Amino acid sequence: MSEQLELYDVTIIGGGPAGMYSAFYSGMRDMKTKLIEAREELGGRILIYPEKMIWDVGGLTPTLGSKLIEQLKQQALTFDPTVVLGQTIEKFERQQDGTIVLTAANGERHWTRTVIMAIGYGVLQLAKLEIEGADRFEVSNLHYTVQELEGFRGKRVLISGGGDSAVDWANALTPIAASLTVVHRRDQFGGHERNVAQMKGSSANVLTPYAVESLSSTNGTDIDQVSIRHMETEECLQLEVAAVIVNHGLRYNFGAIKEWGLDMGDWNVNVSGRNATNIPGIFAVGDFVQHDSKVHLIAGTFTDAVNAVNGAKVFIEPEADKYAYVSSHNSRFKEKNRELGVVDEDEH
């Protein structure tokens, strides 16, 4: 190599739940670890819904998305991995000695023995409302995510969308907003059945199949009226609003990673045991992964991370233990326990 780069055992691409837990678990396996995230902060998709209550992570009572991010971040940093923010990895090069050099869009290079890809569906972009002039309201009362529920208290709110987040926001805002209308272009909603039933049984005004047709503003700054169109009859209704929330999903872009030669479908990479891809030394976790037993929940990403890190460890050291010891018996936690004022029984 023409430049002197620091060699890492594993480099994790992506700083969402899968990437952060991979960083933690690689520390358990005493691996020199680097975590690279394209955004300027860790959190992944959860950053889109920080006020969403998350119920389905084992061992946690209902937890706000923002709180879960902080807890995952704290855990990820347990063994002091190197964290690089604001870099999108584009290029992969195999060296003669079998190691790998990753190159970011800004030209920075990263040298590693193995790679764990925790990139979800690639670079995320919120799908915007495709109405001319809508963007001018983004600085006032047109929202593509809900950062603080309290900001909608006592307001007439319209939500456009029918996925999980739209349904969850509707349920969270119903007791807060003065009135809530949900508009969806299809009769069927894509959210979890229980949450959809809760929304339909609440005071929310659910209108289907309708789509937002136009936005109106008396003062030129804030939306105060929305026109919605029936998808079959073309009938239009005028609704008075004080805030509009749009959740039309996400647009995904894998960029140059599609050219690496990974065994990929449109949205996922296929993996075998220990979450190994078809390229030696490259493993994958989280929503980016597809296999027969894949669980597309946050809880499922943790198992992916454990399998991938164990796979990377054995790839580097074929004679290494296939799995890490549980934390109560893992030597890496002895010092951590002492820092917490906890003395292991075998140290008495």
Query: pLDDT digit string (tens) for 137-180?
Result: 999 999 988 888 999 999 999 999 998 889 989 999 999 999 99
Residues 256 and 277 in one domain: yes
Confidence of residue 312 (pLDDT cuts 50, 70, 90): very high
Residues 163 and 221 in one domain: yes
Residues 258 and 307 in one domain: yes
348 belongs to a structural domain: no
How far apart CA 232 and CA 77 sit, in angstroms, is: 53
* Residue where a domain stops, chosen among 195, 224, 246: 246
- The tally of domains found in the chain comes to 2
Residues 147 and 190 in one domain: yes
346 belongs to a structural domain: no
Averaged over 333-339, what is the pLDDT? Answer: 73
CATH code of the domain containing 165: 3.50.50.60
Residues 116 and 158 in one domain: no
The pLDDT of residue 251: 74
Residues 203 and 288 in one domain: no
Q: Is the dihedral of CA 280, 286, 287, 290 positive or negative?
A: positive
Residue 88 tokens, joined: 């999108």
318: number of CA atoms within 13 Å, CB side? 0
The pLDDT of residue 342: 66
334 belongs to a structural domain: yes
* Residue where a domain stops, chosen among 246, 278, 298: 246
The pLDDT of residue 158: 97
pTM, whole model, 2 decimals? 0.71
* Residue where a domain stops, chosen among 246, 273, 308: 246
pLDDT top residue among 344 and 242? 242
The pLDDT of residue 265: 86
Q: Which residue has the tokens 């002091």?
A: 80
Residue 200 scores a pLDDT above 90: yes
Mean confidence (pLDDT) of the chain? 91
The pLDDT of residue 116: 98
pLDDT top residue among 327 and 39? 39
163 belongs to a structural domain: yes
Confidence of residue 338 (pLDDT cuts 50, 70, 90): confident
> Can you give the length of the chain in residues?
348
Residues 255 and 115 in one domain: yes
Q: Which residues 6+ apart lie within 8 Å of 201 measured at CB?
A: none
Contact yes or no for 120/14 (Cβ under 8 A): yes
19 belongs to a structural domain: yes
Confidence of residue 33 (pLDDT cuts 50, 70, 90): very high
Averaged over 111-122, what is the pLDDT? Answer: 94
Averaged over 104-118, what is the pLDDT? Answer: 97
Averaged over 196-221, what is the pLDDT? Answer: 95
Residues 120 and 266 in one domain: yes
The pLDDT of residue 222: 95
The pLDDT of residue 196: 94
Residues 43 and 74 in one domain: yes
Residues 152 and 119 in one domain: no
With a pLDDT cut of 90, the percent of the chain lying above it is 68
Averaged over 63-91, what is the pLDDT? Answer: 95
The pLDDT of residue 53: 86
Residues 318 and 274 in one domain: yes
91 belongs to a structural domain: yes
277 belongs to a structural domain: yes
pLDDT tens track for 120-138: 988 767 788 989 889 999 9
Residues 257 and 169 in one domain: no
1 belongs to a structural domain: no
Contact yes or no for 322/310 (Cβ under 8 A): yes
Q: Look up residue 309 and give its DSSP letter.
A: H
What is the span of the domain harbouring residue 223?
A: 128-246
pLDDT top residue among 242 and 336? 242
Q: Which residues 6+ apart lie within 8 Å of 138 measured at CB?
A: 144
